Structure 1
Amino acid sequence: MKYFLSLLAFATLISTAPVKAQTVTGLEGFSIFLDPGHSQTENMGLYNYSEAEKVLRVGLALREMLLTQTDIDTVYISRTSDSQQVPLSQRDDLANATGADFFHSIHSNAGSNTANNTLFLHGGWRSNGQTVEKTPNGGKEMGDIMEIELTDAMRIPTIGNWADRNFYQGSSVDNHSNQFPYLFVNRTTNMASVLSEAGFHTNPTQQKRNLNADWKRLEAQSFFWSILEYLDVERPPVGIATGYITDTDGGLPINGAVVTVGDSTYTTDTFESLFNNYAANPGDLQNGFYYIEDLQNGPAQIIVEAEGFYTDTVDTNIISTDFTFTDVALVSNIPPFVASTSIGDDDEINPGEALLLNFSRSMDRTAVENALSLTPDVDYTLTWNSDKKLSISTANFDFESSYTLTIDSTATDKSSYAHNIDGDADGTEGDSYIVTFETGPVDIIPPAISDIRPTNTQLNELRPIISATFDEPLDTALFDNKTIEVSKSDYTVPGETVYYTIGNRSVLNFFPSERLDKSRNYTLTFSKSISDTVGNSLGSDVVRTFPTGDQDIINETVVDDFEDGISAWWEPSQSGSTDGYIPEETSLEISTTEVNLLTNSSQSMRVNYGWDTTSTANLIRQYRGSVTTPKFANDLILQTYVFGDGNGNKFRFMLRDGNGELEGSSWYTVDWLGWKLVSWDLSQDSVVAWVNGNGTLNGDLYLDSFQMTYTEGQPTTGFIVFDDLRAVEMGLATSNEPNDELLSDVPNQIELKQNYPNPFNPSTNISFGLPQQSDVNLKIYDMLGREVATVYSGVKSKGFHTIQFDASRLSSGVYIYRLVTKSGTISKKMTLLK
């Protein structure tokens, strides 16, 4: 209570700070409570600059404008420094105690590093098919005004002004179950209120602007005008010029540009003036933002100068009713040069590989093509990937030969100055670019196969993903149903082979469509016809064997199969624990190409990463938000299928236990390509404490996050894909054969055995026998004769076969399973109980 009273007294004191001569009247008798969201450095954004720090300065600037430029009665504010820690409940209690007329909660948003928009939320809900605004009204009206003013000021999109419960729980329902505001700040304040989200502090472009003090003043200015309009007070004359200074080549903002309007100048941020506080290297950050106030209305010239660029003068008109936005793109005075090529350090390139040239500037394509030649003469084609990137085909180049590439001095860039190329990159244009390189020898080496899984050791997965990694891409035209074979005796396991390329390597994954037998030996064969793209084949089959164990999943809790999307998961940058990464290269997305076919998955979760090797800490916390269900016991095995990039960086599971403590697995080194099942035995394997953890799993658990980290010396960019996250209990596997009775080798007529188990949930095994090889169709029908599933359609050899049927997507009931072959048709009943 003592703290609350002192805070109230402090807020009242700062609300009556000395003011300058007032120019705007009509606010007398009105009071407003400003609430910069969060405290200290909470909600950390990119570049180690938090939402809390940013919105505090917006709030202070807005407060200063109101107190110095208007006759407003009182401006309260919930905090005035980064050191204050103000709980959410105290903010609303304090606002209610002041009796302010309006409450404005100031925020910025978080999410994908490509998302950037404004959002406004006032208290409201749906009742009898209508949206109802909380009483006192006014939040919607203020939000409507702010939506226009702030969105125009920031020059980004908006997603609107919403009644808060409509935004979070849907606007199409007739009646929300809770007939009161959704957000705490709207629900518990006794005055009209609105919450504003000014762009995303997880968006790199936006966050670089957020670092600038005058950018925060621009936001505050838009709020200031919104309040005036809300009170029907005329806006005073405006004399503000603002915009961005960029490079014409690619639109990169320019640091240290000097902007002059009349007698006023402004220098855009530099590493020395600002960015050294947030980045390790000059050039890492730039915003190109300028903001000049107190200008005279009317015609004006904006003169922009920057080192390495031609000075530009732009005519504009300083308007009296709004910001005068004037962006200026400067032309570099540095002539173009070849910045890099794909020629290796040994000055060698292999025929068939593209020869890539990366220019420092956007080039005139025709001028470059006319200036380019190769000696000795050889046929080639040119492909422009952009005005800066040229690809030269080398398919017709001879092996073990020397070539000289020349781009003569007539090649020019695309700028209005048409600079000639600077061949030796010494800063002076007009000399030719010349490079000599060698071509490599004829490739006569077949692809090397490695990391074959499973092999030799006993396998407790009875539905494993077979995998083999190759050191180069393969010729997919040669793939057939014998590329990978998994067999026992004279029986070949059916399944699907999927091929992936990752960088200069490739991987084959085979997904069996039926469960393997327990306690059996299997042979794994990779066909001798597997070949690289220039015709070098393995030459002989690669054969491995592996035994299966007697364990199988007897109980399973699905934590997330990602079939409903990834909305429960935060963007990597949203977690304040994420550190030491490159925002532009780090993102979260749904993948529909890397999916686990064992479960008929249609999508998975992919995390792209980029590591900042200058950082002392590298961690991505791929957080699962506030979703705490389903929970699972601490004696199970936590599993997920992981598609790896083979880069040798690491990931781990992180759980929150019954005491709210964070406990993790050991790190797993992702040194494999393609799919692999990763398991953490919660009762047997190591538990690593993190943050408030103690290394012990207490009570029921739920997943907090996947975490990733960098391994020194490994690639700094890559990706990792997760699918079918689950907690399982293992037990003695049932036999694939019904009632554990072995079937004879070859039946003398078509047979369809009783499915086992029956009744079943969620899957069962169906066995049948064929007296000869035959086309087979095994389908499931409901009791009305409607087909509900195809278990198998294809060719089967003579003998007995067992196929697992997954009925997890069907409801309880009696079903017909029907086998159709050239030898006849048989149908039987089975019962699904859920």
Structure 2
Amino acid sequence: MPTATFTPSTSNNRQVMKNINKIMIGAAMGMLTLGGIATAETVAKQNWGDFKLWIDPGHSKTENQGLYNYSEAQKVLRVGLATRQFLFDYTTADTTTIKMTRDDDQDDVSLEERSDMANAWGADFFYAIHSDAGSNENQTLFLFGGWYENGTAVEKTPNGGKRFSEILDPNLTGVMYNTTSRGSWYDRYYYDRVTDHDYHFPYLSVNRRTNCASMLSEGGFHTLPMQQALNLNDSYKRLEAFGTARAIMEYRGITRPDKVLLAGVVTNSETGEPINGATVKVNGDSIVTDSYDSLFKNYTKNPDLIHNGFFLFENLQAGKSYDISYSCPGFSSSTASVTMKSDPQGLSGNNVTWANVALTSNAPAVVSSIDVADAGAVRRTVPITITFSRKMNRESVEKAFAISNNGQCTFTWKNDYTLVIDISKLADEETYTITIDGSIAKNSQTNQYLDGNADGTEGGNYTFTFTTVPADTQAPYVVSTTPAKDSTMLYTLRPAIRIEYNEELAWNEDDATDAIVLADKDGNKIEGTITHAVVNGASVLHLYPSKDLTLDKAYKVTVKGGFKDLAGNLSEGYTFKFLSEYHPVEAQKVLDECTVDHWWAPDGSGSTAGTTSKTGVEESTANYIEQANVHSGDSVKNTIHLHYKFDDSFAGPWQIREYRSYQQNYYDTSVKGYVLQCCVYGDGSNNKVAHMVRVRVNGGSIDGIKRNLSKTLNYRGWDIMAWDINKCGANNQTFTGSDPYTFSENDTWCYDSFWLNHEMTADQGDMYKDNDGVDDSGNPITWQDWSGDIYIDDYKYVKYGEATQTAKLSDITDEPETGVSEVASQSSISINAKGSMINVVAGEKLQTVTVYSVNGATVLSTTPRGNVETVDASQLAPGVYVVKAITAGKQNTKRVIIK
């Protein structure tokens, strides 16, 4: 079979059709009303003829949500309207020759109705306008109907989509801000890169179902912070329409108008972030860039989240030079001179002059934040991080730093904005005041002194007072394991044995020797590799076995004691038993190799909501995925690292639909009865995760997206998330589509996405105020972190055979074991809790009994009269507390649960 190599066409060499009805445009050119300050003038219009153009703004209403709750449907509708108006202004086209699928946000038009409407009207060309989702780089894309047949590229008939695609590509891309192109493609080849397709018709519905030449464009990504911030601006949408309308005129062989535009983005020279509320003046006209109060408050409650700094002037003359002035409160002003580019019959971008500018802040730096949740209960083991509003001269800040009571601190810098202060050498139960002298510390760009007291004037001191918690005398202890104690380890014969501690260990490599011993009921040791990691403030150990366990057998895990925490307290040994998987594996299929290219960016799905995606300097680090070198086993080659950050100023819901787009084909019924599973490295955040699959009912239409019952990330380290799809009716939740839903014999499905959910309720805001662990009604709260890092690997479908479990935990002789919630006594002082009463008994007179919350704050304290004390804790919220009892010569600390 002959083969052909296909590459997307981006050629600028196009044969322009002659227009026999061409008329000359008058010397006085009219203005395209692109928003802002432009005024319309009378122009001689080019003859459009009887050519019937159908403009199809993709989707309907507010479908395909992008960032900031602004949808693709809303954006492309306005690009379409502006494109149509441009053509009405500069040609003789009217509503008899140009129609649109919809012209407001209330119209709801199905995919099939779009092509049916255009076909019934007798359209000569169908142009679908879309924006894209999923990439980390802003790009355009152009898809016309076509496929490959025996190595030969075939365009749908009537032809014309390919030619328009190749004209529109450089014209639309060329007017957009910081945008590149993925090129112009035969649509079926774009989605299936072979040179002999099974289906010899277009892939996209709008190309396949239309009876005329057709094409679909993707105008940038509504899931990228900078592009979406621009999408919110009406003038920017019309800038895209300018490029689009000129391309349509070129396709029709119509002379384009001698029309030029001046565009630009005003940014902060220090951070690269676009500036809100900047004033740009040209030729007596003035534009103020969008700000929170003028626009962005409609899309976020966070006044510092969205920036675009965009301006667009229209009433300027080709080839003429203009002076531009830029100003903004808090920044030094700037001026520039530009000459307006003009090439009427050339590319659209040759008629847009960009005048981007970077302004320098003249505001002194202030302390933006300090990461101390409770200044009255600061742990010495946790560094204090101070973030400044500007890049700082590090040496000057360290020289300006002082701390009271002869405190000793050391410094590291994450970057020029962020100072990390090591306070581990401070004393326990002591009050300190940090001072940063505003007459010494200064920023590194303009050398202005720190505005420490934030009064708007440089030179004031910054002060912060805090109190350290009592000494940590509690031994580190195990809080959770995988496999769980006395459980059956399902879905694998080679589990990553996970041991999670309540706090960070002072780990060294010598500790790894026999730290975890895995043995079967006969005492045979299974060798493996032991690792230690600190995750979200606590340590987790893993033993990665070097071989599979035996099917249906009892095993014992022994964790040695003597691990030190950061205060030098020693852990007790810990043992537990579990049973291995007893179902034999009959078949398995790799679902995904966990290559990052197979997955969209976290903000890529329109279903993602409530994430922090700040425009400017932070946008690349807010949410992202990357390849990682952390694996759940030695046979696993690739792992995905997902970093997420939710916006606590957002009203909810907060979720990430981490979409898998690679080779998205529907599986047949051969995987019915399989278990869908992967390994998830939890971060202890208490956020929730799930698998999601897209379902096709009885080989017909798509019913929607279903997910398994979510798994809570209340653990650190590796565990398995599995979903028996064969039992979907009993253990699934509906994301979209009908509900309830149970798979039938003829249904098929494919993996849709990995789902991450933060579901903090409004009442949980109470925790910001008093950290009491309950909501306003006194109900216990499970706190969820707003940000974190998880890892995912070993995606596969596995079919397990039916079997009966015969192994028993009693196959291993019982030995004294340490329970997960038990901490060995450090002295003869006994501490126990029953219900809401705490009982303390000592061999000598007790001096004090103190109860602390888990974050170290004192919640109760008594002075006993003898060696026995009963503390009434009924006024405390149910939960976990730490009790410390002291006598003249001894002390004991124990974790208790108040019910």
TM bin, normalised by shorter chain, reads 0.7 to 0.9
Aligned CA distance change for structure 1 residues 148 and 607 (closer, same or farther; 3 Å): same
Secondary structure of the 1:260 match is strand
**Could you list the per-position Cα deviations for residues 173-211 of structure 1 after superposition, in whole angstroms to 9, with x for gaps in the alignment?**
554444443333334444443321110011121111111
State the AA in 1 paired with 2:301.
A
538, 546, 549: which one aligns with 2:577? 546
Offset of 1:580 from its aligned partner? 3.6
Matches within 5 A, 1:354-753: 356-365=385-394, 367-368=396-397, 383-391=412-420, 405-416=435-446, 418-433=447-462, 447-454=476-483, 456-461=485-490, 462-470=493-501, 471-488=503-520, 489-517=522-550, 520-532=553-565, 537-538=570-571, 542-548=573-579, 551-558=582-589, 560=591, 562-563=592-593, 565=595, 571-583=601-613, 587=623, 589=625, 591-597=627-633, 600-613=635-648, 614-624=650-660, 627-629=665-667, 631=669, 639-654=677-692, 656=695, 658=697, 660=703, 664-680=707-723, 683=727, 686-688=731-733, 691-694=737-740, 696-699=742-745, 702=749, 703-712=751-760, 713-723=783-793, 724-732=795-803
State the AA in 1 paired with 2:334.
D
Question: Does the CA contact (< 8 Å) of 2:265 and 2:311 recur in 1?
Answer: yes
184, 194, 203: which one aligns with 1:161? 184
Query: Distance in 2 between the 1:486 and 1:337 partners?
Result: 54
1:145 aligns with 2:161: no
2:859 matched to which residue of 1? none
Aligned CA distance change for structure 1 residues 609 and 381 (closer, same or farther; 3 Å): closer
**Could you list the per-position Cα deviations for residues 53-85 of structure 1 after superposition, in whole angstroms to 9, with x for gaps in the alignment?**
211111111111111122347323222222223
Secondary structure of the 1:149 match is helix
State the AA in 2 paired with 1:543.
Y
Aligned CA distance change for structure 1 residues 601 and 163 (closer, same or farther; 3 Å): same
Question: Does the CA contact (< 8 Å) of 2:323 and 2:335 recur in 1?
Answer: yes
Query: Distance in 1 between the 2:506 and 2:327 partners?
Result: 54
Offset of 1:287 from its aligned partner? 1.5
Query: Distance in 1 between the 2:387 and 2:596 partners?
Result: 37
Question: Does the CA contact (< 8 Å) of 1:641 and 1:725 recur in 2?
Answer: no
Question: Does the CA contact (< 8 Å) of 1:447 and 1:536 recur in 2?
Answer: yes
2, 26, 36: which one aligns with 2:57? 36
**Could you list the per-position Cα deviations for residues 234-275 of structure 1 after superposition, in whole angstroms to 9, with x for gaps in the alignment?**
432334221112223312222222322122222222333322
Query: Distance in 2 between the 1:230 and 1:679 partners?
Result: 53
Q: Determine what percentage of the aligned residue pairs are the same residue.
A: 35
Query: Distance in 1 between the 2:67 and 2:437 partners?
Result: 42
Question: Does the CA contact (< 8 Å) of 1:636 and 1:727 recur in 2?
Answer: yes
Query: Distance in 1 between the 2:427 and 2:400 partners?
Result: 23
Question: Does the CA contact (< 8 Å) of 1:255 and 1:287 recur in 2?
Answer: yes
Question: Does the CA contact (< 8 Å) of 2:262 and 2:352 recur in 1?
Answer: yes
Please give the root-mean-square deviation of Cα atoms over the aligned residues, in Å.
3.7
Structure 2 unpaired stretches of 5+: 1-39, 344-350, 615-620, 761-782, 808-899
Offset of 1:715 from its aligned partner? 1.0
Matches within 5 A, 1:303-342: 303-321=325-343, 322-341=351-370
Query: Distance in 2 between the 1:178 and 1:687 partners?
Result: 34
Question: Does the CA contact (< 8 Å) of 2:305 and 2:612 recur in 1?
Answer: no
Aligned CA distance change for structure 1 residues 227 and 159 (closer, same or farther; 3 Å): same
Offset of 1:725 from its aligned partner? 4.2
**Could you list the per-position Cα deviations for residues 724-765 of structure 1 after superposition, in whole angstroms to 9, with x for gaps in the alignment?**
3435435337999xxxxxxxxxxxxxxxxxxxxxxxxxxxxx
Query: Distance in 1 between the 2:786 and 2:599 partners?
Result: 23
Secondary structure of the 2:167 match is helix
Query: Distance in 2 between the 1:478 and 1:142 partners?
Result: 68
Offset of 1:217 from its aligned partner? 0.4
Query: Distance in 2 between the 1:635 and 1:133 partners?
Result: 42
Query: Distance in 2 between the 1:333 and 1:671 partners?
Result: 46
Aligned CA distance change for structure 1 residues 440 and 480 (closer, same or farther; 3 Å): same
State the AA in 2 paired with 1:609.
Y
Aligned CA distance change for structure 1 residues 353 and 281 (closer, same or farther; 3 Å): closer
Question: Does the CA contact (< 8 Å) of 2:223 and 2:605 recur in 1?
Answer: no
**Could you list the per-position Cα deviations for residues 616-666 of structure 1 after superposition, in whole angstroms to 9, with x for gaps in the alignment?**
433434455654326467766554432211111223444548564665543
Query: Distance in 1 between the 2:683 and 2:143 partners?
Result: 42
291, 295, 305: which one aligns with 1:284? 305
Query: Distance in 1 between the 2:217 and 2:191 partners?
Result: 15
Question: Does the CA contact (< 8 Å) of 2:505 and 2:563 recur in 1?
Answer: no
Secondary structure of the 2:271 match is coil
Secondary structure of the 1:59 match is helix
Query: Distance in 2 between the 1:347 and 1:547 partners?
Result: 43
**Could you list the per-position Cα deviations for residues 580-630 of structure 1 after superposition, in whole angstroms to 9, with x for gaps in the alignment?**
4434677563543332217x1112344443334442433434455654326
**Could you list the per-position Cα deviations for residues 251-303 of structure 1 after superposition, in whole angstroms to 9, with x for gaps in the alignment?**
22222223221222222223333223222343332222111211244222222
State the AA in 1 paired with 2:126.
F
**Could you list the per-position Cα deviations for residues 330-380 of structure 1 after superposition, in whole angstroms to 9, with x for gaps in the alignment?**
333421123334567437877786554322112344554665567899998
1:769 matched to which residue of 2? none
Offset of 1:169 from its aligned partner? 2.2
Question: Does the CA contact (< 8 Å) of 2:60 and 2:108 recur in 1?
Answer: yes
Aligned CA distance change for structure 1 residues 190 and 308 (closer, same or farther; 3 Å): same
State the AA in 1 paired with 2:757.
T
Question: Does the CA contact (< 8 Å) of 2:207 and 2:214 recur in 1?
Answer: yes
Secondary structure of the 2:168 match is helix
Question: Does the CA contact (< 8 Å) of 1:657 and 1:663 recur in 2?
Answer: no
State the AA in 1 paired with 2:738.
N
Query: Distance in 2 between the 1:119 and 1:677 partners?
Result: 38
Question: Does the CA contact (< 8 Å) of 2:585 and 2:798 recur in 1?
Answer: no
Query: Distance in 2 between the 1:384 and 1:494 partners?
Result: 41
Matches within 5 A, 1:4-403: 21-25=42-46, 27-28=48-49, 30-72=51-93, 74-112=97-135, 114-127=136-149, 129-155=151-177, 156-170=179-193, 174-297=195-318, 298-321=320-343, 322-341=351-370, 345-346=374-375, 356-365=385-394, 367-368=396-397, 383-391=412-420
Offset of 1:671 from its aligned partner? 0.6
Matches within 5 A, 1:770-781: none
**Could you list the per-position Cα deviations for residues 104-123 of structure 1 after superposition, in whole angstroms to 9, with x for gaps in the alignment?**
221111113x2311111233
Query: Distance in 2 between the 1:590 and 1:306 partners?
Result: 38
Offset of 1:312 from its aligned partner? 3.1
